[in-house]
Structure 1
Amino acid sequence: MIVVTAAGGRTGGAVVRGLWSRGLRVRALVGSRRPRPELTALSADVVGTDLTDASAVEPLLAGADALYLIWPNFDPGETAGATALLAAARRAGVGRVVYHSVLRPQARAMPHHAAKDRVEEVLDASGLRWRVLQPCAYADNLDGQLAEVAATGTFRSPWGLARAQSLVDVRDVADAAVALLTEDGLDGGTFEAVGPEPLTAPRIAALLAARLGQDVRAVDVVPGGAVPPLEDYPAHCARLMFDHYRSHGFTGSPRVLEALLGRPARTFAEHLAAIDVPGGAGELR
Protein backbone atom coordinates (compact mmCIF):
# COMPACT_ATOMS: atom_id res chain seq x y z
CA MET A 1 0.00 0.00 0.00
CA ILE A 2 1.27 3.48 -0.92
CA VAL A 3 0.22 6.64 0.91
CA VAL A 4 -0.05 9.94 -0.96
CA THR A 5 -0.49 13.17 1.01
CA ALA A 6 -2.26 16.29 -0.32
CA ALA A 7 -3.94 13.87 -2.71
CA GLY A 8 -6.76 16.30 -3.49
CA GLY A 9 -4.38 18.66 -5.29
CA ARG A 10 -3.16 18.64 -8.86
CA THR A 11 0.05 16.74 -8.16
CA GLY A 12 -1.38 14.34 -5.61
CA GLY A 13 -4.31 13.45 -7.81
CA ALA A 14 -1.98 12.80 -10.76
CA VAL A 15 0.22 10.54 -8.62
CA VAL A 16 -2.80 8.59 -7.35
CA ARG A 17 -3.97 8.19 -10.95
CA GLY A 18 -0.54 6.95 -12.00
CA LEU A 19 -0.40 4.39 -9.20
CA TRP A 20 -3.95 3.22 -9.94
CA SER A 21 -3.07 2.69 -13.59
CA ARG A 22 -0.42 0.22 -12.43
CA GLY A 23 -2.86 -1.66 -10.21
CA LEU A 24 -1.33 -0.43 -6.95
CA ARG A 25 -3.28 0.09 -3.74
CA VAL A 26 -3.32 3.73 -2.61
CA ARG A 27 -4.35 5.55 0.55
CA ALA A 28 -5.08 9.14 -0.43
CA LEU A 29 -4.81 11.68 2.39
CA VAL A 30 -6.85 14.84 1.82
CA GLY A 31 -7.43 17.97 3.86
CA SER A 32 -11.16 17.63 4.47
CA ARG A 33 -13.83 14.96 4.79
CA ARG A 34 -15.91 16.10 1.82
CA PRO A 35 -16.47 13.49 -0.91
CA ARG A 36 -13.64 13.00 -3.40
CA PRO A 37 -15.27 11.08 -6.27
CA GLU A 38 -12.28 11.69 -8.53
CA LEU A 39 -10.16 9.67 -6.07
CA THR A 40 -12.68 7.02 -5.06
CA ALA A 41 -13.16 6.33 -8.79
CA LEU A 42 -9.50 5.28 -8.75
CA SER A 43 -10.20 2.76 -5.95
CA ALA A 44 -8.21 4.90 -3.49
CA ASP A 45 -8.80 4.66 0.25
CA VAL A 46 -9.57 8.36 0.79
CA VAL A 47 -8.98 9.66 4.30
CA GLY A 48 -9.54 13.23 5.48
CA THR A 49 -6.86 14.32 7.92
CA ASP A 50 -4.85 17.31 9.10
CA LEU A 51 -1.24 16.97 7.94
CA THR A 52 -0.11 19.29 10.73
CA ASP A 53 -1.25 16.70 13.29
CA ALA A 54 1.46 14.07 12.94
CA SER A 55 -0.04 11.94 15.72
CA ALA A 56 -3.26 11.64 13.70
CA VAL A 57 -1.42 10.86 10.47
CA GLU A 58 0.92 8.26 11.97
CA PRO A 59 -1.66 5.43 12.23
CA LEU A 60 -2.55 6.03 8.57
CA LEU A 61 1.05 5.24 7.63
CA ALA A 62 1.18 1.87 9.40
CA GLY A 63 1.93 -0.92 6.96
CA ALA A 64 2.73 1.45 4.08
CA ASP A 65 5.29 0.25 1.57
CA ALA A 66 5.94 3.85 0.55
CA LEU A 67 4.88 7.43 1.27
CA TYR A 68 4.72 10.21 -1.30
CA LEU A 69 5.02 13.32 0.83
CA ILE A 70 3.57 16.44 -0.77
CA TRP A 71 3.06 19.48 1.40
CA PRO A 72 0.40 22.03 0.32
CA ASN A 73 1.95 24.82 -1.75
CA PHE A 74 2.90 28.18 -0.23
CA ASP A 75 2.33 26.99 3.35
CA PRO A 76 4.56 28.62 5.97
CA GLY A 77 4.37 25.49 8.10
CA GLU A 78 6.01 23.16 5.58
CA THR A 79 9.39 22.73 7.27
CA ALA A 80 7.96 21.96 10.70
CA GLY A 81 5.02 19.95 9.40
CA ALA A 82 6.96 17.80 6.94
CA THR A 83 9.68 17.21 9.55
CA ALA A 84 7.06 15.92 11.99
CA LEU A 85 5.58 13.62 9.33
CA LEU A 86 8.99 12.19 8.52
CA ALA A 87 9.43 11.27 12.17
CA ALA A 88 5.94 9.71 12.14
CA ALA A 89 6.85 7.75 9.00
CA ARG A 90 9.92 6.32 10.69
CA ARG A 91 7.95 5.32 13.79
CA ALA A 92 5.27 3.72 11.59
CA GLY A 93 7.88 1.67 9.73
CA VAL A 94 7.21 3.14 6.29
CA GLY A 95 9.38 1.28 3.80
CA ARG A 96 10.28 4.21 1.55
CA VAL A 97 9.64 7.96 1.47
CA VAL A 98 9.60 10.10 -1.66
CA TYR A 99 9.55 13.82 -0.91
CA HIS A 100 8.02 16.20 -3.43
CA SER A 101 10.45 19.11 -3.43
CA VAL A 102 11.19 21.72 -6.11
CA LEU A 103 13.88 22.46 -8.67
CA ARG A 104 16.68 24.44 -6.98
CA PRO A 105 15.39 24.44 -3.41
CA GLN A 106 18.60 26.19 -2.40
CA ALA A 107 17.39 29.41 -4.09
CA ARG A 108 16.85 31.26 -0.81
CA ALA A 109 15.37 34.29 -2.55
CA MET A 110 12.16 32.22 -2.67
CA PRO A 111 11.04 31.28 0.87
CA HIS A 112 8.90 28.34 -0.21
CA HIS A 113 11.96 26.87 -1.96
CA ALA A 114 14.08 27.37 1.16
CA ALA A 115 11.46 25.53 3.23
CA LYS A 116 11.81 22.48 0.99
CA ASP A 117 15.60 22.69 1.17
CA ARG A 118 15.37 22.44 4.96
CA VAL A 119 13.07 19.42 4.70
CA GLU A 120 15.55 17.73 2.35
CA GLU A 121 18.25 18.26 4.97
CA VAL A 122 16.07 16.68 7.65
CA LEU A 123 15.20 13.79 5.34
CA ASP A 124 18.87 13.02 4.76
CA ALA A 125 19.38 12.55 8.50
CA SER A 126 16.05 10.83 9.19
CA GLY A 127 17.15 7.21 9.04
CA LEU A 128 14.48 6.54 6.40
CA ARG A 129 15.01 5.09 2.94
CA TRP A 130 14.32 8.12 0.78
CA ARG A 131 14.27 9.69 -2.67
CA VAL A 132 13.53 13.32 -3.63
CA LEU A 133 11.73 14.61 -6.72
CA GLN A 134 12.46 18.22 -7.72
CA PRO A 135 10.00 19.44 -10.38
CA CYS A 136 10.26 22.63 -12.39
CA ALA A 137 7.18 24.84 -12.86
CA TYR A 138 4.23 23.02 -14.42
CA ALA A 139 2.93 23.58 -17.93
CA ASP A 140 -0.46 22.90 -16.32
CA ASN A 141 -0.15 26.15 -14.31
CA LEU A 142 -0.99 28.03 -17.50
CA ASP A 143 -4.13 26.05 -18.33
CA GLY A 144 -6.43 28.40 -16.44
CA GLN A 145 -5.35 31.27 -18.65
CA LEU A 146 -6.05 29.55 -21.97
CA ALA A 147 -9.69 30.58 -22.36
CA GLU A 148 -8.65 34.21 -21.84
CA VAL A 149 -5.86 33.79 -24.38
CA ALA A 150 -8.35 32.44 -26.91
CA ALA A 151 -10.74 35.32 -26.26
CA THR A 152 -8.22 38.17 -26.19
CA GLY A 153 -5.27 37.01 -28.27
CA THR A 154 -2.86 37.90 -25.47
CA PHE A 155 -0.78 35.77 -23.13
CA ARG A 156 -0.02 37.54 -19.86
CA SER A 157 3.40 36.79 -18.39
CA PRO A 158 4.15 37.75 -14.78
CA TRP A 159 7.83 36.85 -15.28
CA GLY A 160 8.52 39.16 -18.21
CA LEU A 161 9.39 38.44 -21.83
CA ALA A 162 13.12 37.74 -21.81
CA ARG A 163 13.71 34.85 -19.40
CA ALA A 164 12.69 31.24 -19.96
CA GLN A 165 11.13 28.40 -17.99
CA SER A 166 11.45 24.67 -18.68
CA LEU A 167 7.80 23.87 -18.06
CA VAL A 168 7.07 20.25 -17.21
CA ASP A 169 3.80 18.36 -17.74
CA VAL A 170 2.30 17.14 -14.46
CA ARG A 171 1.66 13.74 -16.06
CA ASP A 172 5.42 13.35 -16.46
CA VAL A 173 5.94 14.42 -12.85
CA ALA A 174 3.44 11.78 -11.74
CA ASP A 175 5.09 9.07 -13.85
CA ALA A 176 8.45 9.98 -12.33
CA ALA A 177 6.92 9.87 -8.86
CA VAL A 178 5.55 6.38 -9.54
CA ALA A 179 9.00 5.22 -10.62
CA LEU A 180 10.55 6.58 -7.44
CA LEU A 181 7.84 4.99 -5.31
CA THR A 182 8.10 1.54 -6.85
CA GLU A 183 11.51 0.90 -8.41
CA ASP A 184 14.58 -0.43 -6.62
CA GLY A 185 18.10 1.01 -6.72
CA LEU A 186 17.18 4.69 -6.34
CA ASP A 187 17.51 5.27 -2.59
CA GLY A 188 19.31 8.44 -1.53
CA GLY A 189 18.83 10.00 -4.96
CA THR A 190 17.64 13.50 -5.83
CA PHE A 191 15.92 13.65 -9.21
CA GLU A 192 15.08 16.76 -11.22
CA ALA A 193 11.83 16.79 -13.22
CA VAL A 194 12.30 19.40 -15.91
CA GLY A 195 10.55 19.98 -19.22
CA PRO A 196 12.41 19.45 -22.51
CA GLU A 197 12.73 23.05 -23.73
CA PRO A 198 13.40 26.55 -22.30
CA LEU A 199 10.30 28.63 -23.04
CA THR A 200 10.16 32.42 -23.00
CA ALA A 201 6.73 34.06 -22.90
CA PRO A 202 6.92 34.98 -26.62
CA ARG A 203 7.73 31.36 -27.45
CA ILE A 204 4.78 30.21 -25.35
CA ALA A 205 2.59 32.72 -27.19
CA ALA A 206 3.75 31.30 -30.52
CA LEU A 207 2.89 27.76 -29.43
CA LEU A 208 -0.51 28.93 -28.18
CA ALA A 209 -1.10 30.65 -31.53
CA ALA A 210 -0.33 27.43 -33.39
CA ARG A 211 -2.72 25.46 -31.16
CA LEU A 212 -5.53 28.01 -31.33
CA GLY A 213 -5.15 28.91 -34.97
CA GLN A 214 -5.07 32.65 -34.21
CA ASP A 215 -2.56 35.35 -33.41
CA VAL A 216 -1.37 35.46 -29.80
CA ARG A 217 0.88 38.16 -28.36
CA ALA A 218 2.88 37.90 -25.14
CA VAL A 219 2.31 40.81 -22.73
CA ASP A 220 4.60 41.66 -19.83
CA VAL A 221 2.56 41.98 -16.63
CA VAL A 222 4.86 44.05 -14.44
CA PRO A 223 3.94 43.75 -10.74
CA GLY A 224 2.95 46.95 -9.02
CA GLY A 225 3.68 48.05 -5.49
CA ALA A 226 5.85 46.56 -2.80
CA VAL A 227 6.30 42.87 -2.10
CA PRO A 228 3.37 41.71 0.07
CA PRO A 229 4.31 41.26 3.72
CA LEU A 230 5.48 37.92 5.07
CA GLU A 231 2.21 37.67 7.01
CA ASP A 232 0.49 37.12 3.66
CA TYR A 233 2.76 34.19 2.96
CA PRO A 234 1.24 32.89 -0.31
CA ALA A 235 1.23 36.34 -1.93
CA HIS A 236 4.68 37.10 -0.50
CA CYS A 237 6.13 33.89 -1.94
CA ALA A 238 4.39 34.22 -5.31
CA ARG A 239 5.71 37.74 -5.80
CA LEU A 240 9.28 36.80 -4.87
CA MET A 241 9.04 33.75 -7.11
CA PHE A 242 8.01 35.71 -10.18
CA ASP A 243 10.57 38.41 -9.40
CA HIS A 244 13.20 35.65 -9.36
CA TYR A 245 11.92 34.18 -12.63
CA ARG A 246 11.95 37.66 -14.18
CA SER A 247 15.60 38.12 -13.25
CA HIS A 248 16.98 34.62 -13.69
CA GLY A 249 14.44 32.39 -15.42
CA PHE A 250 13.75 28.86 -14.17
CA THR A 251 15.27 26.30 -16.50
CA GLY A 252 17.12 23.01 -16.28
CA SER A 253 17.96 19.80 -18.07
CA PRO A 254 15.35 17.13 -18.88
CA ARG A 255 17.91 14.32 -18.91
CA VAL A 256 17.24 13.03 -15.38
CA LEU A 257 13.47 13.05 -15.87
CA GLU A 258 13.74 11.27 -19.20
CA ALA A 259 15.98 8.63 -17.66
CA LEU A 260 13.30 7.96 -15.02
CA LEU A 261 10.54 7.90 -17.64
CA GLY A 262 12.43 5.84 -20.20
CA ARG A 263 11.08 8.16 -22.90
CA PRO A 264 11.22 11.83 -23.93
CA ALA A 265 9.47 14.34 -21.70
CA ARG A 266 6.30 15.89 -23.10
CA THR A 267 6.79 19.20 -24.89
CA PHE A 268 4.56 22.20 -24.25
CA ALA A 269 3.00 21.65 -27.68
CA GLU A 270 2.15 18.08 -26.67
CA HIS A 271 0.68 19.38 -23.43
CA LEU A 272 -1.52 21.84 -25.32
CA ALA A 273 -2.67 19.16 -27.74
CA ALA A 274 -4.42 17.35 -24.87
CA ILE A 275 -6.38 20.40 -23.62
CA ASP A 276 -9.85 21.67 -24.53
CA VAL A 277 -10.14 25.46 -24.46
CA PRO A 278 -13.73 26.80 -24.67
CA GLY A 279 -14.61 30.06 -26.37
CA GLY A 280 -12.66 32.41 -28.60
CA ALA A 281 -11.90 32.27 -32.28
CA GLY A 282 -9.77 29.19 -31.82
CA GLU A 283 -12.17 27.08 -29.81
CA LEU A 284 -10.71 23.63 -29.17
CA ARG A 285 -12.72 20.43 -28.99
Structure 2
Amino acid sequence: MIVVTAAGGRTGTAVVASLRRQGCAVRAVVGTARPHPDLDELGAAVVAAELTDVEAMAPLLAGAEALYLIWPNFDPHEATGATALWGAARAVGVPRVVYHSVLRPQARSMPHHAAKDRVEEALDASGLAWRVLQPCAYADNLDATLPDAVASGRFRSAWGLAHGQSLVDLRDVADAAAVLLTEDGLDGGTFEAAGPESLTAGRIAELLAERTGRPVTAVDAVPDGPVPPVEEYAARCARTMFDHYRAHGFTGSPRVLTALLGRAPRTYAEHLADLPLPGPGATGALR
Protein backbone atom coordinates (compact mmCIF):
# COMPACT_ATOMS: atom_id res chain seq x y z
CA MET A 1 0.00 0.00 0.00
CA ILE A 2 1.27 3.46 -0.97
CA VAL A 3 0.24 6.61 0.90
CA VAL A 4 -0.35 9.78 -1.14
CA THR A 5 -0.97 13.03 0.74
CA ALA A 6 -2.95 16.05 -0.45
CA ALA A 7 -4.63 13.46 -2.65
CA GLY A 8 -7.74 15.55 -3.24
CA GLY A 9 -5.79 18.12 -5.24
CA ARG A 10 -4.97 17.89 -8.94
CA THR A 11 -1.47 16.52 -8.39
CA GLY A 12 -2.49 14.00 -5.77
CA THR A 13 -5.41 12.71 -7.81
CA ALA A 14 -3.18 12.33 -10.87
CA VAL A 15 -0.58 10.39 -8.87
CA VAL A 16 -3.27 8.14 -7.39
CA ALA A 17 -4.62 7.49 -10.89
CA SER A 18 -1.18 6.54 -12.21
CA LEU A 19 -0.56 4.17 -9.29
CA ARG A 20 -3.97 2.56 -9.62
CA ARG A 21 -3.36 1.91 -13.33
CA GLN A 22 -0.40 -0.15 -12.19
CA GLY A 23 -2.57 -2.07 -9.75
CA CYS A 24 -1.08 -0.49 -6.61
CA ALA A 25 -3.17 -0.20 -3.46
CA VAL A 26 -3.35 3.46 -2.44
CA ARG A 27 -4.30 5.22 0.77
CA ALA A 28 -5.33 8.71 -0.32
CA VAL A 29 -4.95 11.23 2.51
CA VAL A 30 -7.17 14.29 2.06
CA GLY A 31 -7.54 17.42 4.14
CA THR A 32 -11.30 17.34 4.71
CA ALA A 33 -14.01 14.73 5.09
CA ARG A 34 -16.03 16.06 2.14
CA PRO A 35 -16.81 13.56 -0.65
CA HIS A 36 -14.02 12.76 -3.12
CA PRO A 37 -15.81 10.88 -5.92
CA ASP A 38 -12.78 10.98 -8.25
CA LEU A 39 -10.67 9.12 -5.70
CA ASP A 40 -13.51 6.72 -4.89
CA GLU A 41 -13.87 5.88 -8.59
CA LEU A 42 -10.15 5.15 -8.76
CA GLY A 43 -10.52 2.62 -5.96
CA ALA A 44 -8.33 4.43 -3.44
CA ALA A 45 -8.89 4.17 0.30
CA VAL A 46 -9.70 7.77 1.20
CA VAL A 47 -8.82 9.02 4.68
CA ALA A 48 -9.16 12.57 6.04
CA ALA A 49 -6.33 13.87 8.19
CA GLU A 50 -4.49 17.12 8.85
CA LEU A 51 -0.89 16.86 7.66
CA THR A 52 0.38 18.96 10.55
CA ASP A 53 -1.16 16.51 13.07
CA VAL A 54 1.71 14.05 13.34
CA GLU A 55 -0.11 11.86 15.88
CA ALA A 56 -3.00 11.43 13.45
CA MET A 57 -0.71 10.84 10.49
CA ALA A 58 1.57 8.23 12.06
CA PRO A 59 -1.01 5.38 12.05
CA LEU A 60 -1.81 6.16 8.40
CA LEU A 61 1.86 5.68 7.50
CA ALA A 62 2.30 2.45 9.47
CA GLY A 63 2.66 -0.56 7.17
CA ALA A 64 3.00 1.56 4.02
CA GLU A 65 5.37 0.43 1.28
CA ALA A 66 6.01 4.04 0.32
CA LEU A 67 4.90 7.61 1.02
CA TYR A 68 4.41 10.30 -1.62
CA LEU A 69 4.41 13.58 0.25
CA ILE A 70 2.65 16.44 -1.51
CA TRP A 71 2.17 19.55 0.59
CA PRO A 72 -0.72 21.90 -0.28
CA ASN A 73 0.28 24.81 -2.50
CA PHE A 74 1.51 28.03 -0.90
CA ASP A 75 1.04 26.77 2.65
CA PRO A 76 3.22 28.52 5.25
CA HIS A 77 3.54 25.36 7.36
CA GLU A 78 5.32 23.25 4.74
CA ALA A 79 8.87 23.50 6.07
CA THR A 80 8.00 22.57 9.64
CA GLY A 81 5.13 20.23 8.85
CA ALA A 82 6.89 18.14 6.22
CA THR A 83 10.01 17.89 8.39
CA ALA A 84 7.87 16.56 11.25
CA LEU A 85 6.38 13.95 8.93
CA TRP A 86 9.87 12.70 8.02
CA GLY A 87 10.29 11.90 11.69
CA ALA A 88 6.94 10.13 11.83
CA ALA A 89 7.74 8.11 8.70
CA ARG A 90 11.03 6.98 10.17
CA ALA A 91 9.44 6.12 13.52
CA VAL A 92 6.90 3.74 11.91
CA GLY A 93 9.44 2.29 9.46
CA VAL A 94 8.26 3.55 6.06
CA PRO A 95 10.83 1.97 3.71
CA ARG A 96 10.61 4.58 0.91
CA VAL A 97 9.54 8.21 0.77
CA VAL A 98 9.22 10.46 -2.26
CA TYR A 99 8.88 14.21 -1.84
CA HIS A 100 7.03 16.35 -4.37
CA SER A 101 9.28 19.40 -4.53
CA VAL A 102 9.77 21.95 -7.31
CA LEU A 103 12.28 22.72 -10.02
CA ARG A 104 15.09 24.85 -8.54
CA PRO A 105 14.00 25.03 -4.91
CA GLN A 106 17.21 26.97 -4.22
CA ALA A 107 15.64 30.01 -5.94
CA ARG A 108 14.84 31.51 -2.56
CA SER A 109 13.36 34.75 -3.87
CA MET A 110 10.17 32.66 -3.98
CA PRO A 111 9.08 31.74 -0.42
CA HIS A 112 7.49 28.44 -1.39
CA HIS A 113 10.68 27.39 -3.16
CA ALA A 114 12.68 28.28 -0.07
CA ALA A 115 10.36 26.14 2.05
CA LYS A 116 10.82 23.15 -0.24
CA ASP A 117 14.58 23.65 -0.18
CA ARG A 118 14.51 23.39 3.62
CA VAL A 119 12.34 20.28 3.45
CA GLU A 120 14.78 18.63 1.03
CA GLU A 121 17.64 19.46 3.41
CA ALA A 122 15.73 17.90 6.32
CA LEU A 123 14.91 14.84 4.21
CA ASP A 124 18.58 14.28 3.44
CA ALA A 125 19.31 14.22 7.19
CA SER A 126 16.24 12.13 8.12
CA GLY A 127 17.71 8.65 7.89
CA LEU A 128 14.98 7.64 5.43
CA ALA A 129 15.43 6.07 2.01
CA TRP A 130 14.27 8.94 -0.18
CA ARG A 131 13.76 10.28 -3.68
CA VAL A 132 12.74 13.81 -4.71
CA LEU A 133 10.71 14.86 -7.76
CA GLN A 134 11.21 18.47 -8.89
CA PRO A 135 8.54 19.44 -11.45
CA CYS A 136 8.52 22.55 -13.58
CA ALA A 137 5.28 24.55 -13.85
CA TYR A 138 2.38 22.48 -15.20
CA ALA A 139 0.91 22.97 -18.65
CA ASP A 140 -2.39 22.23 -16.92
CA ASN A 141 -2.13 25.46 -14.89
CA LEU A 142 -3.18 27.41 -17.98
CA ASP A 143 -6.11 25.20 -18.99
CA ALA A 144 -8.84 27.21 -17.26
CA THR A 145 -7.73 30.40 -19.01
CA LEU A 146 -7.65 29.01 -22.53
CA PRO A 147 -11.36 29.19 -23.47
CA ASP A 148 -11.36 32.91 -22.71
CA ALA A 149 -8.08 33.35 -24.61
CA VAL A 150 -9.60 31.71 -27.68
CA ALA A 151 -12.87 33.63 -27.39
CA SER A 152 -11.17 37.00 -26.91
CA GLY A 153 -8.14 36.36 -29.11
CA ARG A 154 -5.87 37.45 -26.24
CA PHE A 155 -3.70 35.11 -24.19
CA ARG A 156 -2.79 37.02 -21.03
CA SER A 157 0.65 36.16 -19.67
CA ALA A 158 1.38 36.86 -16.00
CA TRP A 159 5.08 36.17 -16.65
CA GLY A 160 5.53 38.64 -19.49
CA LEU A 161 6.50 38.00 -23.08
CA ALA A 162 10.28 37.71 -23.11
CA HIS A 163 11.09 34.46 -21.32
CA GLY A 164 9.98 30.85 -21.64
CA GLN A 165 8.82 28.04 -19.38
CA SER A 166 9.33 24.29 -19.81
CA LEU A 167 5.68 23.54 -19.07
CA VAL A 168 5.16 19.89 -18.17
CA ASP A 169 1.98 17.84 -18.54
CA LEU A 170 0.68 16.77 -15.12
CA ARG A 171 0.07 13.25 -16.42
CA ASP A 172 3.80 12.93 -17.11
CA VAL A 173 4.61 14.21 -13.62
CA ALA A 174 2.25 11.65 -12.11
CA ASP A 175 3.73 8.79 -14.13
CA ALA A 176 7.23 9.86 -13.05
CA ALA A 177 6.07 9.91 -9.44
CA ALA A 178 4.76 6.37 -9.84
CA VAL A 179 8.17 5.24 -11.11
CA LEU A 180 9.89 6.77 -8.09
CA LEU A 181 7.40 5.13 -5.74
CA THR A 182 7.62 1.63 -7.18
CA GLU A 183 11.01 1.01 -8.80
CA ASP A 184 14.25 0.06 -7.09
CA GLY A 185 17.69 1.62 -7.53
CA LEU A 186 16.67 5.27 -7.29
CA ASP A 187 17.30 6.10 -3.61
CA GLY A 188 19.04 9.39 -2.92
CA GLY A 189 18.11 10.75 -6.34
CA THR A 190 16.74 14.18 -7.14
CA PHE A 191 14.81 14.09 -10.42
CA GLU A 192 13.78 17.11 -12.49
CA ALA A 193 10.51 16.91 -14.42
CA ALA A 194 10.55 19.52 -17.18
CA GLY A 195 8.62 19.64 -20.42
CA PRO A 196 10.37 19.18 -23.78
CA GLU A 197 10.36 22.81 -24.97
CA SER A 198 10.85 26.36 -23.75
CA LEU A 199 7.54 28.11 -24.32
CA THR A 200 7.18 31.88 -24.39
CA ALA A 201 3.72 33.33 -24.09
CA GLY A 202 3.92 34.18 -27.77
CA ARG A 203 4.62 30.58 -28.69
CA ILE A 204 1.72 29.38 -26.53
CA ALA A 205 -0.57 31.81 -28.37
CA GLU A 206 0.69 30.48 -31.70
CA LEU A 207 0.04 26.87 -30.68
CA LEU A 208 -3.40 27.79 -29.37
CA ALA A 209 -4.22 29.47 -32.67
CA GLU A 210 -3.02 26.40 -34.59
CA ARG A 211 -5.13 24.13 -32.38
CA THR A 212 -8.34 26.14 -32.73
CA GLY A 213 -7.96 27.89 -36.08
CA ARG A 214 -8.70 31.21 -34.40
CA PRO A 215 -6.29 34.16 -34.08
CA VAL A 216 -4.70 34.45 -30.63
CA THR A 217 -2.15 37.05 -29.55
CA ALA A 218 -0.08 37.05 -26.36
CA VAL A 219 -0.47 40.15 -24.19
CA ASP A 220 1.52 41.12 -21.13
CA ALA A 221 -0.59 41.05 -17.95
CA VAL A 222 1.59 43.35 -15.85
CA PRO A 223 0.84 42.92 -12.12
CA ASP A 224 -0.72 45.76 -10.16
CA GLY A 225 0.64 47.09 -6.91
CA PRO A 226 3.54 46.06 -4.68
CA VAL A 227 4.53 42.57 -3.62
CA PRO A 228 2.14 41.46 -0.84
CA PRO A 229 3.56 41.46 2.69
CA VAL A 230 4.93 38.39 4.47
CA GLU A 231 1.67 38.03 6.38
CA GLU A 232 -0.17 37.36 3.10
CA TYR A 233 1.89 34.26 2.42
CA ALA A 234 -0.04 32.69 -0.46
CA ALA A 235 -0.43 35.97 -2.32
CA ARG A 236 3.25 36.75 -1.77
CA CYS A 237 4.25 33.34 -3.11
CA ALA A 238 2.17 33.76 -6.26
CA ARG A 239 3.44 37.27 -6.95
CA THR A 240 7.13 36.51 -6.34
CA MET A 241 6.80 33.39 -8.49
CA PHE A 242 5.51 35.31 -11.50
CA ASP A 243 8.03 38.10 -10.89
CA HIS A 244 10.79 35.47 -11.02
CA TYR A 245 9.36 33.95 -14.20
CA ARG A 246 9.09 37.43 -15.74
CA ALA A 247 12.73 38.20 -14.97
CA HIS A 248 14.34 34.83 -15.62
CA GLY A 249 11.90 32.37 -17.17
CA PHE A 250 11.55 28.90 -15.68
CA THR A 251 13.07 26.25 -17.89
CA GLY A 252 14.84 22.94 -17.47
CA SER A 253 16.03 19.92 -19.39
CA PRO A 254 13.57 17.15 -20.30
CA ARG A 255 16.28 14.50 -20.28
CA VAL A 256 15.68 13.21 -16.73
CA LEU A 257 11.92 13.00 -17.21
CA THR A 258 12.43 11.20 -20.52
CA ALA A 259 14.58 8.62 -18.75
CA LEU A 260 12.02 8.10 -15.97
CA LEU A 261 9.12 7.73 -18.40
CA GLY A 262 10.99 5.69 -21.02
CA ARG A 263 9.57 8.06 -23.64
CA ALA A 264 9.55 11.74 -24.53
CA PRO A 265 7.37 13.98 -22.35
CA ARG A 266 4.25 15.38 -23.98
CA THR A 267 4.66 18.58 -25.96
CA TYR A 268 2.36 21.51 -25.36
CA ALA A 269 0.69 20.85 -28.72
CA GLU A 270 -0.07 17.31 -27.54
CA HIS A 271 -1.43 18.71 -24.29
CA LEU A 272 -3.72 21.08 -26.21
CA ALA A 273 -4.91 18.26 -28.47
CA ASP A 274 -6.46 16.53 -25.44
CA LEU A 275 -8.40 19.59 -24.26
CA PRO A 276 -12.05 20.29 -25.18
CA LEU A 277 -11.27 23.27 -27.40
CA PRO A 278 -12.74 23.88 -30.86
CA GLY A 279 -10.66 22.65 -33.75
CA PRO A 280 -9.93 24.47 -37.01
CA GLY A 281 -13.15 25.33 -38.81
CA ALA A 282 -15.30 25.09 -35.70
CA THR A 283 -17.91 27.80 -35.19
CA GLY A 284 -20.02 29.01 -32.33
CA ALA A 285 -19.29 29.98 -28.74
CA LEU A 286 -16.96 28.07 -26.47
CA ARG A 287 -18.51 26.16 -23.61
Query: Structure 1: any 5+ residue segments left out of the alignment?
Result: none
- Residues 282 and 173 of structure 1: CA distance in aligned 2, closer, same or farther (over 3 Å): farther
- 1:77: Cα distance to partner? 0.5
What TM-score comes out, normalization by structure 2 length? 0.97
Aligned AA for 2:14? A
- Where in structure 2 are the equivalents of 1:102-141 lying within 5 Å? 102-141=102-141
- What is the match of residue 152 of structure 1? 152
Paired residues in the alignment total 285
- What is the match of residue 96 of structure 1? 96
Aligned AA for 2:164? A
Q: Distance in 2 between matches of 1:136 and 1:283?
A: 33
* Deviation sequence 1:142-199 (CA, Å, 0-9, x none): 0010111121011000100000000000000000000000000000000000000000
Identical pairs, percent: 72
Question: Contact 2:161–2:200 at 8 Å: present in 1 too?
Answer: yes
Aligned AA for 1:93? G
Question: Contact 2:15–2:174 at 8 Å: present in 1 too?
Answer: yes
- What is the match of residue 180 of structure 1? 180
Query: Structure 2: any 5+ residue segments left out of the alignment?
Result: none
- 1:231: Cα distance to partner? 0.9
Q: Distance in 1 between matches of 2:148 and 2:55?
A: 45
SS at match of 2:98: strand
Runs of 4+ in 1 over 4 A off after TM superposition: 278-285
SS at match of 1:41: helix
What TM-score comes out, normalization by structure 1 length? 0.98
Q: Distance in 1 between matches of 2:136 and 2:284?
A: 29
Question: Contact 2:151–2:286 at 8 Å: present in 1 too?
Answer: no
- 1:277: Cα distance to partner? 3.3
- Residues 132 and 153 of structure 1: CA distance in aligned 2, closer, same or farther (over 3 Å): same
Question: Contact 2:194–2:257 at 8 Å: present in 1 too?
Answer: yes
RMSD: 1.5
Question: Contact 1:131–1:180 at 8 Å: present in 2 too?
Answer: yes
SS at match of 1:156: strand
* Deviation sequence 1:206-240 (CA, Å, 0-9, x none): 00101111000000001111101111111101100
SS at match of 2:42: coil
Aligned AA for 1:89? A
Q: Distance in 2 between matches of 1:173 and 1:165?
A: 16
- What is the match of residue 215 of structure 1? 215
* Deviation sequence 1:26-62 (CA, Å, 0-9, x none): 0000000011110011110000110110110000001
SS at match of 1:7: coil
Q: Distance in 1 between matches of 2:271 and 2:111?
A: 29
